[in-house]
Structure 1
């Protein structure tokens, strides 16, 4: 998807600048994404237990980079260039299915 977006920007003559790119569709947490991957690969997504960023770094021994509370990317700028951004869940399912066939 990233390569397709880069070629789209180059081929369409889109203006210079920074473009956000992520899959379109529902905004999900990292735990939700991991759950989806586990469900697609071996059906045990229910084993994923969400944890907050505060809990995750509570016992960190070194300084950690701050994490945003909400980090969904705005796709409006890249979509305005005519790019149809694929749904991340469909892209993930296609990728995992392809990789499992190897």
Structure 2
């Protein structure tokens, strides 16, 4: 989620006096894993997205010492409350493409 998009959503909610509560805020579009997002970034930036290897949470924390915060199996956010307030978050893949063009 790009900072400017999140800031626009926050200012929209505040400026329209949307109902009080918790609003999920993330780029719209296809739900992807962290590995999928990393793969898209690496592929767009330098063509080596195929080198990104997904790692399960269990494997990632297998050697950790001490308590580990539990992670949800599926952590996609629901944008319906934000959209009901009249704000639509931009598609994260389109925003990524636009951002990479500026580099």
Deviation at 1:85, TM superposition (A): 1.4
Normalised by the length of structure 2, the TM-score is 0.91
Match for residue 71 of structure 2 among 50, 67, 73: 67
Contiguous gaps of at least 5 residues in structure 1: none
Query: In 2, Cα distance between the equivalents of 1:94 and 1:10?
Result: 27
- Name 2:18's counterpart in structure 1: 14
Deviation at 1:96, TM superposition (A): 2.4
Moved over 2 A (4+): none
- Name 1:89's counterpart in structure 2: 93
Residues 39-71 of structure 1 show CA distances to partners (whole Å, capped at 9, x for unaligned) of: 111110000001111111111122211110000
> 2:39 matched to 1:39?
no
- Name 1:53's counterpart in structure 2: 57
- Name 1:79's counterpart in structure 2: 83
SS in 1 for 2:7: helix
Contiguous gaps of at least 5 residues in structure 2: none
Query: In 1, Cα distance between the equivalents of 2:65 and 2:88?
Result: 43
CA RMSD, Structure 1 to Structure 2 (Å): 0.9
Q: May I ask how many residue pairs the two structures share in their alignment?
A: 99
